[in-house]
Amino acid sequence: MNVEQLKQDIIEYAKEIGIDKIGFTTADPFTTLKERLIKQQQLNYQSGFEEPDIDKRTNPALLLEGAASIISIAVAYPTRMKENPKGKKGARRGLFARASWGEDYHTVLRNRLQKLEEFIKSKIPEARTKSMVDTGELSDRAVAERAGIGWSGKNCAIITPEYGSFVYLGEMITNIPFEPDQPIEDLCGDCNKCLEACPTGALVQGGQINAKICISYLTQTKDFLPEQYRSVIGNRLYGCDTCQIVCPYNRGVDFHLHEELEPEPEIAKPLLTPLLSISNREFKEKFGRTSGAWRGKKPIQRNAIIALGHFKEESAIDDLQKVLKDDPRPVIRGTAAWALGRIGTEKAKEVLLNALEKEKDEEVLNEIELALAK
């Protein structure tokens, strides 16, 4: 089999199956990434969602015997809703980040990669392949950068000249020695808009993140959100798009190329109050198809309560009272106390005073006292 011809055939086929950009690189170790990962670990700047084995992360040969190349793929996702419901007083809404709109991208990209594997094996039956999307060992961005999909921006994102940074990434390690593509030029230049816009200062310098204080990470934690971050997360229920939205290379970027990635407005931007009493089953039915549901309903509910506090939404007092009285989870009760403190009306104060008498949990009591002190 002519490897160059196969590469061209793969590029053609990829277009047919809804892969928006494809690039090829070697399976050589990722040496700079290795140093970087060690450094990030030492600084405690990692989220904990990363694969912990740095050798596996940086040496494709440990993941597939005879690894010779990696095929990187990118799939563009929309940034604007065709029907964008506006939240208003009495009917506030929260927001799922764009990477959680439509069907879970893990499923979408894995399907595409599986088709690509089948295509390659139909041409070379003895080909060996290993595909991954997000949850695999490799750094999807480091692979994409080396395969020429895009450059690595100061906001950490891979930015493609065609689709901006609103692309999902995935890759396939193969034992076929494809000719590698070249990385593309970094076009960030003197721009620093993302660093300036980051609400928590998580972008410590161009291309370096302290994931522990990135809002995207914070929205995915299950414990109490540290007080200083509650007001900055605003109405974000899952993820954060700020450092991408401000990027000049994303200006006007809004691709609707894949039906399954189209957002359902009531899911991507849901009303907040109903989330407070949603059952596990309802949550699964409504949000289960999205990538933002992977941590379950608790972080989403906690963030919804924070968002109601952020809006000082008086119409939510009765629902917050119910949560404070009946919810078995201290994090949810304590966060409701915080929100009532933010709302700060006489009625909210009364609810807090009532709860103070009945509450037994130390942390929740502390939240109630802090809320009353406000």
* Contact between 217 and 223 (Cβ < 8 Å): no
DSSP string for 11-48 = HHHHHHTT--EEEEEE----HHHHHHHHHHHHTT---S
Number of residues interacting with ligand SF4: please give it, by CB under 6 A: 24
Does the footprint of ligand SF4 cover residue 192 (CB under 6 A)? yes
Q: Could you say which of ligand B12, ligand SF4, none residue 173 binds, taking C-beta under 5 to 8 angstroms by partner kind? A: none
Q: Could you say which of ligand SF4, ligand B12, none residue 247 binds, taking C-beta under 5 to 8 angstroms by partner kind? A: ligand SF4
Closest separation in Å from C-beta 40 to ligand B12: 5
Radius of gyration of the chain from its Cα atoms, rounded to whole angstroms: 23
DSSP string for 109-172 = HHHHHHHHHHHHHHH-TT--EEEESSSSSS-HHHHHHHTTS-EE-TTS-EEBTTTBT-EEEEEE
Query: Catalytic: which of 28, 55, 104, 134?
Result: 134
Does the footprint of ligand SF4 cover residue 200 (CB under 6 A)? yes
Does the footprint of ligand SF4 cover residue 255 (CB under 6 A)? no
Residue 156 annotated as binding site? no
Does the footprint of ligand B12 cover residue 168 (CB under 6 A)? yes
How many CB atoms sit inside 10 A of residue 31's CB? 10
DSSP string for 177-240 = -PPPPPPPPP--TT--HHHHH-TT--EEETTEE-GGG-HHHHTT--SPPPHHHHHHHTTEEE--
| Alpha-carbon span 177 to 66, nearest angstrom | 10
Residue 152 annotated as binding site? yes
Task: Please choose, out of 115-123, 138-146, 196-204, 221-229, the segment that lies near ligand SF4 by the rule CB under 6 A.
Answer: 196-204
Q: Could you say which of ligand SF4, ligand B12, none residue 77 binds, taking C-beta under 5 to 8 angstroms by partner kind? A: none
Residue located via tokens 């015997």:
65
Task: Please choose, out of 20-28, 186-194, 292-300, 365-373, the segment that lies near ligand SF4 by the rule CB under 6 A.
Answer: 186-194
190 is catalytic: no
Does the footprint of ligand SF4 cover residue 202 (CB under 6 A)? yes
Pick from 59, 174, 219, 242 the residue near ligand SF4 by CB under 6 A. Answer: 242
Q: Which positions make up the binding site for tRNA?
A: 220, 222, 280-281, 295, 297-298
Active site residues: 134
- Residues near ligand B12, by CB under 6 A: 32-33, 36-37, 40, 47, 49-50, 97, 99, 133-134, 136, 139-142, 145, 152, 155-158, 165, 167-170, 207-209, 211, 214, 216-217, 239-241, 243
